[in-house]
Amino acid sequence: MRTLTLFNVLIAVLFAGAVSANTADDGALRKALTDLDCPTPRPRVAIYGFYATGKLGSYEGYNIGDGLAAQLATELTRTGCFIVLDRTGLSNVLREQELALAGVVKAQTGPQPGALLGAQILIKGSVTEFEASKRGRGLNLGLALPNTPLGMRLGRNGATAHVGLDIALVNATSGEVMHAHRVHADSQSGGWTVGLDHRRGSLGGDSFKKSPLGLAARNALGRAVLAIADDLSGVPWRSQIVDTIENDVFLNAGSATGIEVGSVYRVSRVVRTLIDPATGLVLDTLEREVGKVRITEVHDNYSIAQRIGEFKAARGSYVHQ
């Protein structure tokens, strides 16, 4: 009886140590994403497929680069803090517009060319580490039952998966890399093997969680989202004037941006563009503030503002914080 009691204690200790895995870290990360302080209005970010070649290019038929880029788009969208433009599927969007232009689909139902949203920030990534089993471990314990031809076996095995990514945030206007981060995460998986041995045979079963890579990828992308939100919290928001009717000023920013009625923004117009004569690159644009506007109405695709004071609000002028 004492032997069986000791065996039960060993089972409890092994199990208690095994189930801890990354539960605490995962819970803290999910809470941080839930409590994320969103920038307002919401910035427009475009996600391109992640760079992954060689042995990192695919895993069991899974396209790692495009798959992780799609997961990042999902994670960013779930926060509600960004206007996410998924460029990994852009070819399908352009194909649908080509069908409309060719008259293959009805003009009333076809997408309107030239209406794609432009991005302020481009998000690019590279898969640098993708390991299903960074390290493994195992332990087996056997015990013969007294006065019987039977024996019991209990085994514990596990592995640690690892995912590492390099993320870059690029200014869509200048092409400058604004921020760069390396994010990584581990995930542990494990299973039990229980067997009953007889001197003439044995019977056993094995249970193993086989999704450590998925959890490690999700945690790495979650950390990337936190880093992106922190980087973009200080990026100035900008929209442009579409048209003016008397004192009404129409902006190309709708409800999706998070713009609110009553908010006051500055209006600036470009007075000169500095172009490098040697390379033809735009070095800078010189702007002059001409006045302010207050938002009075917010619609799905545009907003209406009123001038504060007298000034000329020309089409194409910038509206910003």
pLDDT in tens, 227-285: 888 888 877 778 889 999 988 999 988 887 888 899 999 999 888 888 888 888 777 78
| Number of residues in the chain | 321
Closest CA to 188 of 155, 226, 157: 157
Q: What is the pLDDT of residue 69?
A: 87
Q: How far is CA 191 from CA 7, 11, 209, in A?
A: 18, 13, 6
Judge whether residue 32 has pLDDT over 60: yes
Q: Strand, helix or coil at 82?
A: coil
Where does 2-232 sit in CATH, by number? 3.40.50.10610
Distances in Å between the Cα of 7 and the Cα atoms of 140, 192, 203 are 13, 15, 18
pLDDT value of position 202: 44
Q: For position 249, what pLDDT does the model report?
A: 93
* pLDDT, position 209: 37
* Predicted pLDDT at 54: 60
65, amino acid identity: G
Tens of pLDDT, residues 35-45:
888 877 788 89
pTM for the model stands at: 0.65
- List pLDDT tens digits, range 51-109: 876 666 666 666 788 888 888 988 898 888 888 887 877 777 888 888 888 888 887 78
pLDDT at 134 (0 to 100): 58
With H, G, I as helix, E, B as strand and everything else as coil, classify residue 115.
Answer: coil
Give the per-residue pLDDT at 130.
81
CA 199 from chain center: how many Å? 55
The domain spans of the chain are: 2-232, 238-320
Is pLDDT above 70 for 4?
no
What is the per-residue pLDDT across 184-230, written as a single tens digit (0 to 9) for each?
A: 888 776 555 555 554 444 444 444 334 577 788 888 898 999 988 88
Show the CA angle centred on residue 27, arms to residues 26 and 32, nearest 5°.
Answer: 100
pLDDT at residue 297 in the model: 94
How far is residue 298's CA from residue 95's CA, in Å, rounded to a whole number?
31
| Angle, CA of 299, 300 and 301, to the nearest 5° | 95
Q: Tokens for 210? A: 């086989």
For the domain 238-320, what is the CATH superfamily, name and number? FlgT, C-terminal domain (2.40.10.410)
Map residue 112 onto helix, strand or coil: coil
Per-residue H/E/C for 182-223:
EEEEEEEEEEEEEEEEECCEEEEEEEECCCHHHHHHHHHHHH
pLDDT for the residue 39: 74
Comparing 91 with 318, the larger pLDDT belongs to: 318
Q: 2-232 and 238-320 share one CATH topology?
A: no
Q: What is the pLDDT of residues 134-183, one digit of tens each?
A: 554 555 555 555 666 555 666 655 678 888 899 999 988 778 888 999 99
What gap in Å lies between CA 287 and CA 265, rounded to an integer? Answer: 15
